[in-house]
Amino acid sequence: MTQKTVIVTGAAGGIGAATAIRAAAQGWAVAVHYRTGREDAQKVVADIVAAGGLAQAFAADMGAEEQVIDLFRAVDKAMPPLGGLVNNAARTAPRAMRLEEMDGDEINSLMRINVTGAMIAARETAARLSTEKGGPGGTIINVSSLAAIHGAPKLHVHYAASKAALDTFTHGFALEVAREGIRVMSVRPGLINTPIHARAGMADRIEKVGPRMPMGRAGTPDEVAGAIVWLLSDDASYITGTTLDVGGGA
């Protein structure tokens, strides 16, 4: 069987890196996307290659349409045929914020990456995978957040809103391409022990909130990656348009 490529955006660390490594272990060639974490992305690539897998790092700003398009063109040239996309790249607020503290630039900057960038990446993926356009079919996984449900008040309501938009997009786009051999799902992580909390100015959040979770702890990036890679696989072949919560019961 011809090896296929999965693009994992935001794969220099956290859930993205864990997904890239696990996908490679399942036989995928992996395009490891990053924006600024070049060294971290190269380490992910090195780990995959050391384990016998195929991977390459690609830089792009997911908030800039032309850079997203160029990312896909670069992957087309350098990697095996595309078979999947994991839309994981996202940003949060630089600290816990109320809406009254946010200006339009802050909101728009986040939405460009979390929503617009993800939709453009899905568009580019579908253009290559659609059986109606001669493609082989494939899978798109959008990484959402349980913040889409609880709203993240006094933390980052714009981030929560962006993830709710991603969930709605997942369902609608899945129905749009369901007869073109493309499955579209989202995975909705809860409290996961990743660097995203420190980047949002809450480095101690895992220690404070983790023990209050139903399972008594935060989740790990690899636990989320396991759900993502399963949905990418043929074992999930009759699943589309749905969201899988990976939140330990939260």
Percent of the chain with pLDDT over 70: 97
Which residue would you say has higher pLDDT here, 93 or 158?
158
More reliable by pLDDT, 52 or 211: 52
Using pLDDT thresholds of 50, 70 and 90, give the confidence band for residue 85: very high
**pLDDT at res. 9:** 98
Based on the residue annotation, tell me whether 159 is a catalytic residue of this protein: yes
Give the pLDDT confidence of 21-51 residue by residue, as tens digits: 999 999 999 999 999 999 999 999 999 999 9
Q: What pLDDT shows up at residue 230?
A: 98
What integer is the mean pLDDT of 3-15? 97
The listed CATH number (3.40.50.10160, 3.40.50.720, 1.25.40.10, 2.40.30.10) that belongs to domain 5-245: 3.40.50.720
**In contact, 169 and 176? CB cutoff 8 Å:** no
**Domain-by-domain residue ranges, the chain?**
5-245
Mean pLDDT confidence for 132-159: 96
Distances (CA, A) of 9 to 3, 85, 207: 19, 8, 27
More confident residue, 208 or 67: 67
pLDDT at 1: 61
Distance CA 40, CA 30 (A): 15
Confidence of residue 141 (pLDDT cuts 50, 70, 90): very high
User: What is the average per-residue pLDDT within 133-151?
Assistant: 97
pLDDT at 242: 97
**pLDDT per residue as tens digits for the range 172-198:** 999 999 999 999 999 999 998 877 766
pLDDT of 213: 81
pLDDT for the residue 40: 97
Phi, psi (5° rounding) for residue 185? -135, 165
Residue 243: DSSP 8-state: E
pLDDT band at 78 (very low <50, low <70, confident <90, very high): very high
> How confident is the model over 69-74, as a mean pLDDT?
98
DSSP letters, 36-87, are S-HHHHHHHHHHHHHTT--EEEEE--TTSHHHHHHHHHHHHHHSSPEEEEEE
Query: Span 220-247, mean pLDDT?
Result: 97
User: Which of 159, 184, 205, 250 is the catalytic position?
Assistant: 159
Q: Would you say residue 205 has pLDDT above 80?
A: no
